Structure 1
């Protein structure tokens, strides 16, 4: 058989297969009207050899059911995790509203992120503050402006990775691979909350930011009065 004839035959087979598949899709009761064909048809199975069409359908259905069960399990795990996160953040909001000092704010943040959520590093820094704050709250203007220019061009929240130099500014004593950064204040002028994780894939740009945005808004409201109180003391 010539190459041209082989090509024509292959093309004809493709057309025939397409027509047969389309016909069976349009007539799902075909084998009900021709039950004898089910006994004659067989399909190749990778491990079992030739099996009947009914057996193959049953295998496919079992595999599909197993896949659906696994997907449902994953959804349930995700739902439980989301419920847990919501509860932790809700409890944190109450504690922050009850805080009477910057130290209490930090204690509440540390308890939630370090203890409950296993986030190993957390830093709260203030920009250009005239107050004589403790070292843990200070952030030199030249360093934070450099960080801001790179990470906050489009949003007041950044999720992802930082350079080694940037990480040293925020977490000098921890080996951090991914971070979430929150600018605080109406225009991001007040300061920054930084949360770090050892896992490089834990914080990613595509993550949902609903909970951290709520935390950002709350901190932006409660911190200015606490800073004034700190100055008065």
Structure 2
């Protein structure tokens, strides 16, 4: 394949560039996806072709065509993977912002999680895909600057304890495993609950378009009263 690579170097660079572009825009809910069912099929075909080439089951022009296709497919996927990993690294650690303190913030056990003044990547994730986060809780989380699955996925035990106290249901976040659900969703996966919510089968998770704005405003008002 080294000979083929030297012959098609510019075409391979173009394939890599196309992979970068498709990997950058190919996402689920704003999340990079390095693998899918389609890629699994391609991987099986690639391995079959590679085995046939390695054991010389193919000869002549057919072998050349197969090896060329294998090379281009590998380079294209490498481009997709590089773009996906780049997006993932940028999404894993959203920069915290200085949000206003709440009246009872220091009285709650645990530690308030870092929040963002506004959602990143042009829009918030649908937090209602997490079991236990309905429209009201989504709005209250937005009021705390929690907009994305990866923020919840990164919560420490202290953050979970604080959120449970703030939302007035201690222990529920742990029981419903918000953090575990968020990790799956942040990685581009889907939970059984998220699938039902997307299908409109969960009344409290149906998006009314308000993004819990009334609760965001209530949180902002609380923060305003806390200012000296």
Which structure has the higher relative contact order (CA within 8 Å, separation 6+)? 2
Higher strand share: 1
> Larger C-alpha radius of gyration, 1 or 2?
1
TM-score normalised by length of structure 2: 0.32
TM-score normalised by length of structure 1: 0.31
